[in-house]
């Protein structure tokens, strides 16, 4: 141990930046001592401290290592300013002439016949308000899941849910979960809150100016409300929250948007207020922007876990042990254990919220029903819980605070998407709250099915069987 002691003294004499640094030195010290533990310590050292080799990227690494000369590498990466060969029409609008010009430039008859099929051509004007530089439509397979029984404040009945996806096994999984929920008498679902935000930001010289601006802004609510609501027949300004960060001020405008998803609505409404502020504020900002990125628009964020963006919905179901065994081939106890382990795993990975795969249900439903698919980034945040109930069965719940969806406007009026909403009986005015509750129940069905598959050891088998 003399050698180790000397090494220990050397280690102590050198600066230690981190705990890991210290542990690494200890391992090296022990490794230098000839003992029965040397082999084990050697293995542990390499597991814990050796850098990743990124072997799956060795081709790219080798290029940087000298397989290509510096001049050749620079030439590959430098900008090129020659004019592109293929040019599309400068006009983004959907006209017969523009459509023909785009396909002339693309010069691919096979793709044209697939994307601009006769049925698409016959109803081409239906798409003019939803897309620019139109060339056709893409067909995504649509499956049907259910019946899914929902006992909600707004959604009541058995729903057959259309899901558009290219992922095999997905619809089958949601179908299984839906049938299980229906066999239990249905999922209880409750719309908890609604609201869509836009958050203009203002920068000032310092806190004094920021404070003076806020003092003026809080007296202007009635004027802001009048201006905002003058731009829409459906939107209502319900509140304004204020957030000061140093010399920056963020005004969080909260709207009710009726049955529309409402993102364009609140943007236009907030812009009217924003222009009024810039023209009339007694404290002029150095600079200001219509949105300061506090709204959480199309980004995963934590703030709505305790508030709302879009529609906040919760759904629950109680399932007997017998039905868990019949439909999922496992036990309530094992599903609870799975939930406990994956909650810890989610925390370790920094996941926002805890759920298995809300995104699968929402992406498939959003695409089928004309919703803004990019909103899945925020809509798929939420909480799934599974507990044993007093009867020894399974209690399961989901809460989704960020459901951005609508039953009017946007893509809901497109031919295929309207057809899917019609299958649900949820197209048009007065239906968005029900659609939100159906979404929550659908996510619950998916959580039950996938957790059951993992617990029964069927997850891989299902994909092997259905996805090959």
User: What residues act catalytically?
Assistant: 167, 372, 463
Q: Positive or negative CA dihedral for 368, 374, 375, 378?
A: positive
Those residues with Cβ within 8 angstroms of residue 304's Cβ, 6 or more apart along the chain or in another chain: 296, 312, 378, 381, 401, 402
Those residues with Cβ within 8 angstroms of residue 400's Cβ, 6 or more apart along the chain or in another chain: 312, 313, 314, 358, 379, 381, 382, 439, 440, 443
248, exposed or middle or buried, with CB in 10 Å at 0-12, 13-18, 19+?
A: middle
CA 83 to chain centre: 38
Quick one: which of 415, 380, 423, 467 has its CA closest to 139? 415
The CA distance from 153 to 143, in Å, is 27
CA 303 to chain centre: 14
C-alpha distance from residue 40 to each of 3, 34, 45, 48 (Å): 19, 12, 9, 12
Those residues with Cβ within 8 angstroms of residue 209's Cβ, 6 or more apart along the chain or in another chain: 247, 283
Cα 138-144-146 angle, rounded to 5 deg = 155
């Amino acid at each position: 141990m003399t050698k180790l002691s000397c090494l220990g003294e050397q280690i102590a004499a050198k600066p230690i930046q981190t705990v890991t640094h210290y542990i690494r030195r200890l391992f090296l010290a022990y490794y230098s001592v000839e003992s029965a533990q040397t082999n084990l310590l050697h293995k542990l050292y390499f597991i814990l401290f050796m850098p990743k080799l990124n072997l799956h990227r060795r081709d790219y690494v080798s290029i940087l290592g000298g397989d290509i000369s510096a001049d050749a590498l620079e030439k590959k990466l430098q900008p090129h300013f020659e004019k592109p060969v293929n040019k599309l029409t400068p006009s983004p609008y959907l006209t017969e002439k523009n459509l023909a010009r785009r396909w002339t430039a693309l010069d691919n008859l096979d793709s044209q016949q697939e994307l601009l099929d006769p049925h698409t051509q016959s109803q081409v004007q239906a798409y003019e308000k939803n897309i620019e530089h139109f060339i056709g439509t893409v067909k995504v397979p649509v499956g049907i899941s259910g019946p899914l029984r929902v006992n909600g404040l707004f959604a009541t009945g058995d729903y057959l849910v259309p899901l558009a996806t290219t992922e095999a096994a997905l619809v089958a999984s949601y179908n299984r979960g839906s049938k299980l929920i229906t066999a239990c008498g249905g999922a209880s679902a409750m719309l908890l809150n609604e609201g869509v935000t836009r958050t203009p930001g203002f920068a000032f010289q310092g806190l004094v100016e920021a404070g003076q601006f806020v003092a003026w802004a809080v007296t202007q609510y009635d004027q802001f409300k009048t201006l905002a609501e003058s731009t829409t027949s459906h939107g209502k300004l319900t509140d304004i929250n204020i957030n000061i960060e140093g010399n920056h001020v963020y005004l969080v405008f909260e709207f009710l948007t009726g049955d529309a998803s409402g993102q364009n609505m609140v943007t236009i409404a907030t812009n009217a207020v924003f222009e009024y502020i810039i023209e009339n504020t007694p404290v002029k900002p150095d600079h200001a922007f219509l949105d300061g990125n506090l709204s959480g628009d199309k980004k995963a964020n934590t703030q709505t876990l305790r508030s709302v963006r879009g529609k906040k919905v919760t759904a629950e179901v109680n399932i007997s042990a017998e039905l868990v065994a019949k439909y999922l081939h496992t036990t309530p106890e094992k599903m609870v254990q799975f939930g406990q382990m994956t909650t810890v795993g989610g925390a370790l990975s920094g996941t926002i919220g805890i759920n298995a795969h809300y995104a699968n249900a929402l992406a498939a439903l959003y695409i089928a029903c004309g919703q803004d698919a990019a909103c899945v980034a925020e809509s798929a945040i939420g909480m799934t819980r599974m507990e044993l109930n007093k009867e020894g069965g399974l209690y399961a719940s989901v809460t989704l605070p960020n459901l951005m969806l609508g039953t009017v406007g946007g893509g809901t009026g497109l031919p295929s998407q309207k057809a899917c909403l019609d299958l649900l009986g949820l197209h048009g005015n007065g239906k968005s709250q029900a659609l939100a509750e159906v979404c929550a129940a659908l996510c619950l069905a998916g959580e039950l099915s996938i957790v059951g598959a993992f617990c029964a050891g069927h997850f891989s088998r299902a994909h092997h069987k259905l996805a090959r």
